[in-house]
Structure 1
Amino acid sequence: MIQGAEPGYPATVFDDFRLDRVTVGDVSVRFRHGGAGPPVVLLHGHPRTHTTWHAVAPRLAREHTVVLPDLRGYGGSTLPTDRPGHTQSSKREMAGDVVRLMAHLGHDRFAVVGHDRGSLVAFRTAMDHPEAVTHLVIMDGLPVVEHLERTDVTFARAWWHWWFLGQTDKPAERVINADPDAWYETPGPEVIGAGNHADLWAALRNPAVVHGMCEDYRAGLRVDREHEEADRAAGRQVECPMLLLESEHDDLDLHGDPAKIWAPWLVRPLRHRVVDSGHHQAEERPVEVADAIGDFLRTAVR
């Protein structure tokens, strides 16, 4: 493993966190880790990197060992060669990365938190590895199949990027890489933190990362749905306690009450909390998010 900043990815302010890289399976994962106590892994969403957690992670590290990887294909983590059906970017493969990374660090049981696309990876980790996941926190996410089975003109209009990034006839990479600064709109460094902003934009201007993000969505419309359909048919459910953090000023409720949509997937009753935030909760309301996660991890008994 290595320590320190990597070329092309500016250092960010993570006091007492170590920046490392390790090969797990067929990918090289860039990650940070710090703190002490029961382990928790934080998984970012699209188009962010692990630095989106820069204001949440230090607060959780007061009581927990906190691990923050870049998902495969995102940020500084690699993506293997494309496979038929985009299976190299399935959430099952990403969940395997998480479990192997945590095992490498000596953690065979851990809590997992996921936001946006990271919520799909967190969900898959809990479904595929119930013996490893002690607690599950989902931030602004639903199972893919629940979205796709409810697709209508309202969903397609609001979440059109799913279809744009996920199609293959005219790859989205050509459009995005032609002018990533025009394609992606993010808050400035004064809002999301200078280090986080720099790290994010280093990734967004990297064609390999853009391809990795598109492959994530392509897998979501295909193999990830198949995995969830198989889970549902077999009656598999999340066994550990789960907390849903829903942004008050986003549209997770586009299909109705997200708590009711999640209920059939869970063995235990859902904990549900609304955060006074837009979509990027960790950047907009880090104290509230860290407090909610910390309270859940302390009080929800496996």
Structure 2
Amino acid sequence: MSWNGWIGRTEYAVTGGEAPDGRFVARHLPLRTCRGGGRVDQLCSRRGRAAGAVSAWLSADPPDLAPGRPALQDEYTVVLADLRGYGDSDKPARNGSHEPYSKRAMARDQLRMMRALGFERFSVVGHDRGARVAHRLALDAPEATDAVAVLDIVPTRHVLANVDRGLATAYFHWFFLPQGNGVPERLIGNDPEFWLRVMMSADPGDEEAVDPAAMQEYLRCFSTPDAVAATCAEYRAAATIDLEHDEESAAAGQRIACPTLVLWGERGFVGRHYDVLAVWREYASHVRGHGVPSGHFVPEQAPLQTLDALRSFLSSHRG
């Protein structure tokens, strides 16, 4: 995710509260403050009101989303953090329950990180895997989330309860990566660059939307056996323990209580396949949103529209 980092990278978060002005500072938070035994790699800009970001892939020094427009870091404190298993964050040991790579564990990381940075309440903005973490964070820590924006997803529970030929074809990796016996790890590990480029060009124009320097950073972070194994572990969690947690939340009548913004790419699978707002209204109490002229990589392919939508939404729900 890059702005090329948040703009190009995959997931985020935002907060309400005051923070001193300052420059972007790269920091590693000790495991004991983030999740009790590992490292979450994150980049923090302190300016104006607070904002945090959850990123599933990389952290990069974000430039302006759109030249000549105020960027989010001009109005908020923006925190860009790699999810566990991704980028330069730690890759915890995997186990049979898949709990270490559950969205609940990832959400807990981000909550602890934000509190370690001094923010008790914050808004969350997430794209792709980070949006799924943002969804779980809003359910598990409603006292901490002022607002949530999710980009180019519908909830995992809805996806896997409504599988058809189109979904199985477009989301084939959802069914490949959870396979056991080291099969996906071995096959992807033979040529991780090929796999990554294929996955980042599912819709026409997707790969071209990613800055070449950002792509090289994606490749650097993904091209190790631990990174490949962590990605597989995260998808195994999505197909097992994450669904268990989602079913428990649904049975309890739990929905996202805070204001929720949904953005999706009109040319991507989500925009073509779902009535996106109708789906999200089953999972969140206060939903608004719209499609933007893009494929899956919404911030990279429609930066002006993404920035304008986020600024309008976040300014309406400052803590």
In the aligned structure 2, how far is the partner of 1:52 from the partner of 1:196?
Answer: 11
Give the C-alpha shift of residue 54 in structure 1.
5.3
> Once the two structures are superposed, what CA deviation does each residue of 1:163-191 show, in whole Å capped at 9, x if it has no partner?
11111144311111111122221589985
Is the Cα–Cα contact under 8 Å of residues 180 and 204 in structure 1 kept in the other structure?
yes
In the aligned structure 2, how far is the partner of 1:158 from the partner of 1:230?
Answer: 28
In the aligned structure 2, how far is the partner of 1:159 from the partner of 1:171?
Answer: 18
Q: What is the percentage of aligned positions where both structures have the same residue?
A: 34
Aligned position for 2:52: 41
Aligned position for 1:17: 24
Aligned counterpart in structure 2 of residue 50 of structure 1, from 59, 66, 84: 59
Is the Cα–Cα contact under 8 Å of residues 38 and 64 in structure 1 kept in the other structure?
yes
In the alignment, does 2:230 pair up with 1:223?
no
In the aligned structure 2, how far is the partner of 1:275 from the partner of 1:262?
Answer: 17
Aligned position for 1:159: 171
Is the Cα–Cα contact under 8 Å of residues 257 and 285 in structure 2 kept in the other structure?
yes
Unpaired runs of 5+ residues, structure 1, are 1-14
Give the C-alpha shift of residue 85 in structure 1.
1.8
Aligned counterpart in structure 2 of residue 178 of structure 1, from 187, 190, 205: 190
> Once the two structures are superposed, what CA deviation does each residue of 1:68-91 show, in whole Å capped at 9, x if it has no partner?
000000000012111222110000
In the aligned structure 1, how far is the partner of 2:179 from the partner of 2:227?
Answer: 17
Aligned position for 2:38: 27
In the aligned structure 1, how far is the partner of 2:23 from the partner of 2:262?
Answer: 29
Aligned position for 2:19: none
In the aligned structure 2, how far is the partner of 1:74 from the partner of 1:183?
Answer: 15
Give the C-alpha shift of residue 134 in structure 1.
0.3
| Greater displacement, 183-192 / 151-160 | 183-192
Give the C-alpha shift of residue 49 in structure 1.
2.1
Give the C-alpha shift of residue 241 in structure 1.
0.2
In the aligned structure 2, how far is the partner of 1:277 from the partner of 1:50?
Answer: 23
Matched AA of 1:149? A
In the alignment, does 2:312 pair up with 1:299?
no
In the alignment, does 2:282 pair up with 1:273?
no
Q: Equivalences for 1:1-302 in 2 at 5 Å?
A: 16-22=23-29, 23=31, 24-25=34-35, 26-45=37-56, 48-51=57-60, 55-56=64-65, 59-185=71-197, 186=200, 191-253=209-271, 255-268=273-286, 270-300=287-317
Residues 52 and 29 (structure 1 numbering): CA distance in 2 closer, same or farther, change over 3 Å? same
> Once the two structures are superposed, what CA deviation does each residue of 1:90-123 show, in whole Å capped at 9, x if it has no partner?
0000000000000010000001011011111000
Matched AA of 1:21? H
| Corresponding residue SS for 2:74 | coil
| Corresponding residue SS for 1:168 | coil
> Once the two structures are superposed, what CA deviation does each residue of 1:25-66 show, in whole Å capped at 9, x if it has no partner?
232011101031332222334xx3234965549811010000
| Corresponding residue SS for 2:78 | strand
| Corresponding residue SS for 1:92 | helix
Give the C-alpha shift of residue 148 in structure 1.
0.7
In the aligned structure 2, how far is the partner of 1:32 from the partner of 1:301?
Answer: 22
Give the C-alpha shift of residue 254 in structure 1.
5.4
Is the Cα–Cα contact under 8 Å of residues 52 and 283 in structure 1 kept in the other structure?
no
Matched AA of 2:154? L
Matched positions, count: 285
Residues 139 and 132 (structure 1 numbering): CA distance in 2 closer, same or farther, change over 3 Å? same
Residues 56 and 130 (structure 1 numbering): CA distance in 2 closer, same or farther, change over 3 Å? farther
| Corresponding residue SS for 1:267 | strand
Residues 54 and 122 (structure 1 numbering): CA distance in 2 closer, same or farther, change over 3 Å? farther
| Greater displacement, 79-88 / 66-75 | 79-88
Is the Cα–Cα contact under 8 Å of residues 261 and 313 in structure 2 kept in the other structure?
yes
Residues 287 and 254 (structure 1 numbering): CA distance in 2 closer, same or farther, change over 3 Å? closer
Unpaired runs of 5+ residues, structure 2, are 1-21
Is the Cα–Cα contact under 8 Å of residues 60 and 294 in structure 1 kept in the other structure?
yes
Give the C-alpha shift of residue 214 in structure 1.
1.0
Residues 255 and 234 (structure 1 numbering): CA distance in 2 closer, same or farther, change over 3 Å? farther
* CA RMSD after TM alignment: 2.3
